[in-house]
Amino acid sequence: MQTYLLFAAAVIYIICASLPANRAAPISLGTAIGWLLHGAVLSMNIFAADALRLGFAFMLSATLWISVATYWLENRNFPLDSLRVLVLPCAAVSAILPLLFPGQVIPIPGKSVAFSWHIAIAVLAYSTLTIAAFHAILMAVQESRLHQHPLSAKKFFLGAAIDRLPALLTMERLLFRLIAFGFVLLSLTVLSGIVFSEELFGKAFKWDHKTVFTLLSWILFGILLVGHKWRGWRGRMALRFTLTGFTTLLLAYVGTRFVLEVVLHKGFA
């Protein structure tokens, strides 16, 4: 049954991504239904009595699940329909990915509530910064279209949707709002990770790839926010930092877990 629900969610996401922008009501309703199906199966699989099922596929699926919700809510306030074409196909793939890579069940009796909170905050941080990365890609395309010949710009398959985006300055404000919120969540992830690491390993940090990449991403986003505040960084500088920080964060958990689970066939570490 869960397999059918996940495939149904993936199909609904793809259909909603392919519908024309003037079908706003069916797109909104379909996205909500797909999101509910996706979330219900994730909840049934990740959370069990005194245990959590973790792995790169579940982390990626949960991240895209929250990203769909963020897109759906933001699109009601701003015309961000082109974000749909980027987010929903990725969410469709991530929805069925746990069927191929089921991860590992981690018993949690005796662990404090901080462990579960650490996982939840981390997923929220990754999701917020994932939407920021999609947002940055849209801004890069939007900026490039300003320098294109009108005839060549019309041939771009996202051209009409890009043209309906808010002005670049508005998009930039939205981007830094997302990054600032994501940075706060990422900071809480690092702090809660210290608490959890002390409980599990008896020291503040376990210096593995996940820790190094997470801290590097946190530093990059911090530098970007400081540079924007005090040096007026914007435009391509902001986009480069956003995409570099997101790529580093993606490598922090999803990338390292993929290598451990799929390439090296090792368990949770």
Angstrom distance (rounded) from CA 151 to CA 237: 28
Condensed to tens digits (0 to 9), the pLDDT of residues 113-141 reads: 667 777 778 888 888 888 888 888 888 88
Name residue, tokens 């939205």.
Answer: 174
Say which range, 102-111, 166-175, 246-255, has the weakest mean pLDDT: 102-111
Condensed to tens digits (0 to 9), the pLDDT of residues 13-53 reads: 999 988 887 888 899 999 999 999 999 988 887 766 566 67
Angstrom distance (rounded) from CA 68 to CA 34: 10
Token reading at 264? 């090296």
Of 138, 125, 136, nearest to 180 by C-alpha is 125
Q: Count the neighbouring beta carbons within 10 Å of the beta carbon of residue 205.
A: 14
The length of the chain is 269
Beta strands 47-48; 104-107: pairing state: unpaired
Asked if 261 and 55 touch (Cβ cutoff 8 Å), the reply is yes
207 vs 148, higher pLDDT: 207
Condensed to tens digits (0 to 9), the pLDDT of residues 179-226 reads: 999 999 999 988 887 776 666 555 655 667 777 888 999 999 999 999
- How high is the pLDDT of residue 99? 86
Q: Identify any residues that bridge with 106 across adjacent strands, giving them in sequence order.
A: 52
- How high is the pLDDT of residue 222? 94
Residue 156: pLDDT over 90: no
3-state secondary structure of 232: coil
Condensed to tens digits (0 to 9), the pLDDT of residues 230-265 reads: 988 888 888 899 999 988 988 877 655 555 455 445
